[in-house]
Chains A and B, each alone.
Chain A
């Protein structure tokens, strides 16, 4: 029988449960081994005061697995201050980083809500698109309303298109008129017409 019980019953891994102090944990954020960094991030997650340091690390960390743990931990530690730091990443050139920031912000409705107006007014249309993407998946009662505001006023076709896509999922009958009005603003744009028709059909208020 080749099946064997683990001789050491996996106890060869020392259980390092002793509470590590903040200073050494913060130092471990820059350790060479990614496993040490991941453990440091998780341990720091128990100290709300470490959120800023974790945000700092996010800006230089390149390992996908450590980044993932950083984002997950920051979701747990969420606060308006964390949301502001993550929102800055929407401008990053690093596609995985900015997309992970979008996902993390979607998980912190109350923390991100106070910043949404500013982000929706950003001069960079890509930042506005990402904000609309956040809104469309945000567990927040006002999300459909904010998307409707975008549809009514944003000058950029792709920002409006993203908002229409969001409304197709979370919009109610009250947004249908805004969608109809939008058609006039981008007349002749085949995608926009398709998106508006789809949204109105999905909202179910033809």
Chain B
């Protein structure tokens, strides 16, 4: 797949690709965090036939799915079994997440899911590496953690869940 990257001054950055099957896809990463995916007509690469807009958070979730983080295609699972074990994931905490205003110890995700929290990024971009158990999680924080795929998936689910469902 040929990937072409180009700056769009004032808007963001554009990634253009024609897949092996001949589909033209364009990804736009807007400076404000939005992502756009455009799909072009097979017969006329100038004509966009559909497009989808994602928020920053949605885009990250979709990226995980596309990257096989959430569900690994069956055929590949056997081949990459050895590499498959460890994954790294990051989750931005929504204001209605159950994690808001709790400490890492309160959530008990380290023990519950057997994952390790590698870093905590605050909304103002300051970061704590290997945060302690008493670190307070606030809305807008991004938690970076690693572990086995199934554990990471469970932990992600918990962090995305809301007060009521948690």
Partners in one complex: no
Residues of A within 8 A of B (CB): none
Residues of B within 8 A of A (CB): none
